[in-house]
Copies of this chain bind each other. A is one copy, B any other.
């Protein structure tokens, strides 16, 4: 009984992943699963909307698994691995991911929005966990939380642009670019927030010279090379 339900959700997820929800009918799900339409309705009396939400729920659980990562080694290495799993998920659920996040889709309700928000919150909690905030322990301050949430938004937006541009640039470039942006946003926030500065300084201690932060710093030098006038404190200061 539950096995059949799981099978139908899996079928629906496959169809919703690569087709806009308005192009997926309950007949498609029944035909692809090799069952009758009434049988689909027996498990999902709410029809397509209920099946969509069950598929989304299942995708959300899978996505949250992507973020799990051991608490050892440089933070950027952990983040690279989580990003790779996330971007593989985006690659595998391309049309569904776009339909879900671009809005305007017929199946969007306050419930689907709540599921998406839950995934965002799980991602933020996971990043804060790796930055040293245990669940149930000390809570991160508003500026640090805002920085982390902002970066998650950047990841989502960049993933949508990437799909819209026929998955260009190559996924590894997108991953490195997102990682650079994580470092850049966190460093910029650290300059205005003592808590973020403390977290960043601790994270930098774990980084290696040949890791992404060291490489970013070295690549930055020629960009700012001869702009020393920006570091001179002006006479009026």
The chain A residues found within 8 Å of chain B, CB to CB, are: 102-104, 108-110, 112-113, 142-143, 146, 149-150, 153-154, 157-158, 161, 165, 168-169, 173, 176-177, 180-181, 183-185, 187-192, 197, 200-201, 204-205, 207-211, 213-214, 216-220, 222-224, 227, 229-234, 236-237
Contacts and interface: CB of A to CB of B under 8 A. Distances in A.
B201 A229 contact: no
A166 to B, nearest CB: 11
A62 to B, nearest CB: 22
Contacts of A146: 158, 161, 177
A201 B223 contact: yes
Nearest to A213: B230
Given A142-B165, A168-B142, A188 B183 contact: yes
B204 A192 contact: no
Given A104-B110, A201-B227, A231-B209, A185 B187 contact: no
